[in-house]
Amino acid sequence: MGFYVSNLDNFDSMKDEVSWAPFSEAREIVWRARYLLRERSSSQVRGLASELDASIDNYFDVEKHQAISAIERDGLYELLETDEAGHFQDFAPEAFESYDIKTSENTRPIDAAKEVIESMAVLDDPDIPDPKEYEYFAAMALTIVAGYVQALNSTFDFKQLKRVPRTHKNYEPHEVSRFGSDLIAAMEAVTYAESVKKMLQLKHLTEATIGRAETLTKEGVKKGMEEIKLAETEKRRAWGKIGKEKSLIRRNQSRDLVLAQHDQSESFQKKSIASAAADLWQWLSQEAKRQDLEVFSVATIEGWISTHRKSKATS
């Protein structure tokens, strides 16, 4: 899974747009994570990701030393691989099963993060006031998506030992598979973040109820949850309005280019609306790879052309 803070070097976690292709789900993940982190700045999101990354590294380091101590205490030195000077190099394969040793090789970052958060072993960054548990997982999701975006636009050149821009976006099957795997990991992280936030809200509701010396009845919980749901709905509606406005900007960009292409070609103008729409859909699909445009259905393009022709006929 691509949880590397360096993914954010060329991606603004709270502002940059994400391409609809090859997986439109990437935008939904980003939208959901940004909603959870809407009170944070891009630098704070990076700070959350950095804290979590450092804490995960520390978690694996502690796991290693605890396992070494346990193996030495049991006198099973054959489970420790060392160099000629006797310095530890690695564990023997049998050690992992016998001592349930967690490493970055056999443990997913999200699982390690859950262990870290549960033990409250996250480092404190003074630049991130009052960090919430769910924010760390939302930041993880955005960081993974940032790596996905980076892979879409560049590839690692082993001769130059650095990433270089892609000359085309005709991705190989194994690349598409990796993109999908990363987005599944990001989806899992943001979904977990949302569940943690809901549990936190329920905890606050319970504490508030007990604080007022009220009986926590089934009806009381139901009423409280309804209040939370209503408040969340209002917040999502406002957040959704922002997302809708951005979506309209991208839709209009695609529509304007399609209609410009229609007007520049007499062959398109002579065709029926359905035929022209089918051809322009193919054109838009190809152009989208070069300009990061959003592709719309043939039916939608038919509607654009129909309205456009009617408007020109009456003007």
Q: How far apart are CA 291 and CA 314, in angstroms?
A: 33
| Antiparallel, parallel or unpaired: β 88-91 and 80-82 | antiparallel
More confident position, 215 or 311: 311
What is residue 265's predicted lDDT score, i.e. its pLDDT? 86
DSSP class of residue 271 equals S
Tell me which residue of 160, 119, 114, 101 sits closest to 140, measured CA to CA: 114
Chain segment 260-305, per-residue pLDDT in tens: 989 998 888 889 988 898 888 888 888 877 777 777 788 888 888 9
Its pTM stands at 0.68
Q: How far apart are CA 93 and CA 268, in angstroms?
A: 66
Q: Is the pLDDT of residue 308 over 50?
A: yes
On whether the CB atoms of residues 47 and 182 are closer than 8 A, the answer is no
Q: How far apart are CA 148 and CA 143, in angstroms?
A: 9
Q: How far apart are CA 280 and CA 256, in angstroms?
A: 12
Q: How far apart are CA 279 and CA 165, in angstroms?
A: 30
* Residue 210 binned pLDDT confidence (cut-offs 50, 70, 90): low
* Residue 213 binned pLDDT confidence (cut-offs 50, 70, 90): very low
What does the block give as tokens for 161?
Answer: 């030992």
What is residue 202's predicted lDDT score, i.e. its pLDDT? 74
On whether the CB atoms of residues 118 and 110 are closer than 8 A, the answer is no
What is residue 148's predicted lDDT score, i.e. its pLDDT? 94
Percent of the chain with pLDDT over 90: 36
Measured CA angle at 34 (ends 120, 41), to 5 deg: 75
Question: 119: helix, coil or strand?
Answer: coil
On whether the CB atoms of residues 53 and 8 are closer than 8 A, the answer is no
